[in-house]
């Protein structure tokens, strides 16, 4: 009976994971995707707990309580900290895979066949390197570690040597699983390589790297599936591995960067110098009252949300502004840049949370041709994704990144607290245009005032 129930539960779990990924890829079905994915995981855990080889549930219960105690507070972290949170989850997942692989090695060696040993080596290599690399990525994003890239001469040679040594000792272990003392050396090399991999990468590239580490953790879990002869792990790991890789490619494309450039380019270093070179130039600033006056005269407004809107949690005030403008007959749309914010889909999630209708959200490629007809481009806490330097300044670190053409609107209104740069650490020439009005202040407070002033004036 149990023998038949477990494969059925696993099959249902695998189908749920595939459906979850499909539904997660569009905003209207994303909630359903999350629920189905979580239900699939519950089925997978239930199936595994039914396995007859489990002798006692005592330690499993301890792990369950400990996991819940860590997982629940992690889930409560604010939206803006999602990249860090994801890095931590990858670190734990990868460590679990590497430790299972280590335990299997010591339980079975030297009687391990070549294929299984090959999978085990891959599992442990990817697991340990992802563990330390993800912790480093977490440290950089949380600013516990310096976010700038740390580079030195021949660094790539050293890193490749480390990886080469780890791969060579892994290959030796596949040929000679009886070389038991070599195993800790192999694991140690993978752990050190994970640290070295992240040291030269700047904080600006961390979200892309995290997505790549997601892929490694998935591949490690798939390899674990072969070691443990667990088909569900193979399926789930392969889905995780491929989706992480696809996401990294999408993010690199949206920033016009190549993978090798992200991994070996030391991106953040250019930004630091570029940011420091910015000289003092005059800008036109406006009060919320003056800004509301401009909005009253507008009939087409394109709102450009960015990271600042997320930090300020201004999405509900933005919804109030949307309602007020729409009520006054203004056509309001939201321009969505693929890497606005700190994770893909960041803006979509926040605007959906504030119940802004999906059909008002327009992707970059589609909305860019509409900016010249817009009376106002209202930039709320977005910076890099609106910087015209990306189009023409070959020395800019964001040169070539596709941007939202807000500078083509009749009036540009920018809400931010100061003249501080955005994620890439560079000045934004948009702010110095004659038709740009800077409305300084916290996004939530400024948008709130705009709503009041706008309503008062209509
Ligand atoms: P951004 O360039 O990071 O700029 C955000 C702006 O928000 C800052 O200039 C800041 O200026 C302002 N701000 C911060 N807190 C605020 C508050 N409470 N109220 C009002 N304004 C506030 O943001 P972005 O235009 O969204 O661009 C995203 C950046 O992240 C890009 O460089 C992108 O490449 C990078 N990135 C994104 C992803 C992704 O997946 N989304 C992944 C990797 C990298 P003040 O300090 O003056 O207020």
- pLDDT above 80 for 203: no
Distance, in Å, from the CA atom of 153 to the CA atom of 148, rounded to the nearest integer, reads: 16
User: For residue 270, what pLDDT band results from cuts at 50, 70 and 90?
Assistant: very low
Give long-range contacts, CB 8 A cutoff, 24+ apart: 295-298: 295/325, 295/330, 295/376, 295/378, 295/413, 295/450, 295/454, 296/328, 296/454, 296/457, 296/458, 297/375, 298/330, 298/375, 298/376, 298/411
Q: Kindly report the number of other CB atoms within 10 A of residue 178's CB atom.
A: 10
Q: Quote the ligand 1 centre to 197 CA distance (angstroms).
A: 26
Q: Quote the ligand 1 centre to 416 CA distance (angstroms).
A: 10
- pLDDT above 70 for 286: yes
pLDDT at site 279: 57
- pLDDT above 90 for 143: no
Is the separation of the CB atoms in 104 and 227 below 8 Å? yes
User: Known catalytic residue: 384?
Assistant: yes
Instruction: Choose which residue among 306, 335, 387 to substitute to test ligand 1 binding: the one with the highest number of ligand atoms within 8 A of its C-beta.
Output: 306
Nearest CA to ligand 1 atom 8: 422
The set of protein residues with a Cβ atom below 6 angstroms from ligand 1 is 204, 207-208, 251, 255, 306-308, 311-312, 339-344, 346, 381-385, 415-418, 420-424, 442-443
Q: Quote the ligand 1 centre to 424 CA distance (angstroms).
A: 9
- pLDDT above 60 for 276: no
Q: Quote the ligand 1 centre to 166 CA distance (angstroms).
A: 38
- pLDDT above 80 for 265: no
pLDDT at site 256: 75
User: For residue 266, what pLDDT band results from cuts at 50, 70 and 90?
Assistant: low
Distance, in Å, from the CA atom of 361 to the CA atom of 356, rounded to the nearest integer, reads: 8
pLDDT at site 274: 42
Q: Is the peptide bond before 118 cis (omega within 30 degrees of 0)?
A: no
User: For residue 264, what pLDDT band results from cuts at 50, 70 and 90?
Assistant: low
pLDDT at site 391: 93
Distance, in Å, from the CA atom of 87 to the CA atom of 81, rounded to the nearest integer, reads: 10
Q: Which of ligand 1's atoms lies nearest the C-alpha of 444?
A: 19
The DSSP H or E segment spanning 152 is: none
pLDDT at site 272: 41
The residues that bridge with 210 in the sheet, in sequence order, are: none
Q: What percent of the chain has pLDDT over 90?
A: 70
Q: Kindly report the number of other CB atoms within 10 A of residue 301's CB atom.
A: 24
Q: Which of ligand 1's atoms lies nearest the C-alpha of 346?
A: 41
**Closest residue by Cα to residue 219 from 308, 101, 388:** 101
pLDDT at site 351: 92
The alpha carbon of 327 is separated from its chain's Cα centroid by a whole number of angstroms, namely 36
Distance, in Å, from the CA atom of 377 to the CA atom of 386, rounded to the nearest integer, reads: 10
Secondary structure class of 419 (helix, strand, coil): coil
User: For residue 84, what pLDDT band results from cuts at 50, 70 and 90?
Assistant: confident
């Amino acid at each position: 009976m149990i023998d038949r129930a477990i494969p059925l539960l696993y099959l249902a779990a695998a189908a749920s994971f595939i459906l979850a990924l499909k539904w997660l890829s569009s905003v209207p079905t994303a909630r359903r995707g999350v629920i189905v994915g979580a239900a699939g995981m519950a089925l997978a855990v239930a199936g595994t707990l039914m396995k007859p080889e489990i002798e006692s549930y005592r330690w499993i219960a301890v792990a369950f309580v400990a996991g819940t105690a860590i997982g629940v507070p992690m889930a409560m972290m604010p939206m803006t900290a999602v990249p860090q949170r994801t890095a931590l989850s990858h670190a734990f997942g990868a460590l679990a895979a590497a430790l299972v692989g280590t335990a299997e090695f010591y339980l079975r060696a030297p009687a391990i066949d070549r294929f299984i040993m090959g999978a085990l080596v891959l599992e442990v290599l990817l697991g340990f390197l992802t563990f330390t690399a993800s912790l480093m990525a977490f440290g950089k994003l949380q600013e516990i570690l310096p976010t700038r890239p740390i580079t030195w001469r021949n660094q790539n040679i050293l890193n490749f040597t480390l990886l080469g040594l780890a791969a060579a000792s892994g290959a030796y272990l596949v040929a000679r699983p009886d070389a038991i003392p070599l195993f800790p050396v192999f694991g140690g090399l993978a752990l050190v390589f994970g640290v070295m991999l992240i040291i030269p990468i700047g904080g600006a590239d961390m979200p892309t790297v995290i997505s790549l580490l997601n892929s490694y953790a998935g591949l490690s879990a798939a390899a674990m599936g072969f070691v443990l002869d667990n088909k569900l792990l193979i399926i789930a790991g392969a889905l995780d591995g491929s989706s992480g890789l696809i996401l990294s490619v999408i993010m690199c494309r949206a920033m016009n960067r190549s993978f090798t450039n992200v991994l070996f380019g030391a991106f953040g270093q250019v930004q630091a110098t570029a940011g420091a070179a910015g000289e003092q130039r005059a800008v036109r600033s406006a009060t919320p009252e003056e800004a509301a006056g401009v909005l009253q005269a507008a009939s087409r407004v394109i709102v450009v949300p960015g990271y600042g809107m997320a930090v300020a949690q201004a999405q509900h005030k933005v919804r109030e502004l949307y309602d007020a403008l729409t009520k006054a007959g203004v056509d309001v749309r939201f321009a969505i840049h693929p890497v606005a914010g700190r994770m893909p889909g960041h803006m979509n999630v926040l605007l959906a949370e504030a119940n802004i209708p999906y059909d008002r959200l327009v992707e970059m490629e589609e909305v860019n041709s509409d900016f010249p007809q817009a009376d106002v481009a209202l930039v709320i806490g977005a910076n890099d994704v609106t910087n015209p330097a990306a189009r023409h300044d070959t020395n800019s670190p964001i040169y070539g990144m596709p941007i939202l053409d807000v500078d083509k609107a009749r009036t540009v209104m920018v809400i931010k607290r100061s003249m501080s740069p955005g994620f890439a650490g560079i000045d934004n020439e948009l702010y110095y245009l004659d038709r740009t009005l800077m409305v300084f202040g916290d996004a939530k407070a400024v948008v709130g005032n705009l709503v009041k002033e706008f309503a008062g004036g209509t």
